[in-house]
Structure 1
Amino acid sequence: MPRRRPGQVRADVRFRLRTHPTDVIRVSNLPGLSPHGRTVLAYLEHTRLWPGAAAEALHIWERFVCSPYHRIHDYRYDEGCGMWECCPSLIEVQHILTTVEHNLPRHDARRFRRHLTHLDNLW
């Protein structure tokens, strides 16, 4: 079986975040991720989510769990105004965090799960 050329291997692994040299797409910078994990997260946000979705969802979840009023939250009234910036749906936030968790490489997913477990213990 012939060996693949190094350029082909790099083309499979690398994901370019710039469409034009002056255009830069914002991606989440979650703490503790490896460079490969950041690349996977950038690809995930670019294809299935939106730029910065993982960091926003993690920030919203941290803010919700650390709030002293989080225990009075009722999922039946989770609609709010429907705007992500004002009244985010916590079910959607958990869905985004689960999607990120399942798509990260093993080592990075373990770190991310550990962080989420720490937040859930604050609940």
Structure 2
Amino acid sequence: YCDYTASGRALRSLEDFISNQVCPMYANTHSVASATARQTAHFREEARDRVKQYFNCSEDDSAIFCGAGATGAIRKFEDMLIKSRVFAPPKSERKLRRAVVIVDPVAHHSSLLPFREMTRLYPLGKGVKSRAGE
């Protein structure tokens, strides 16, 4: 419901909250010059805290908002991996380690695009059973 980059249906309770609580006080979060900017920044930080709480994060963990749904988050993750030298794009001159991305049959196309640019994909065939959670 919260990733509208590719597609999504409106969630009435979320839409009502945004319309009634957020929009009337919405302003640029990079300013503290007005009450509306401070309120919007507060909403953002409260959302960040709730995400971290939901995922049981510690004080050392970060919740990074990317502004472009799941696709934007995957793009940000890809950039972080490249910059940390965990793995390199296929044409890397430094011969750094390559990533292996294993893709399930129902992975969304937009989620795969960043990885197509940086490594070879190995799709799981239909009928291949995952051992995750065992």
**TM-score w.r.t. structure 2 length?**
0.23
More helix, by proportion: 1
More strand, by proportion: 2
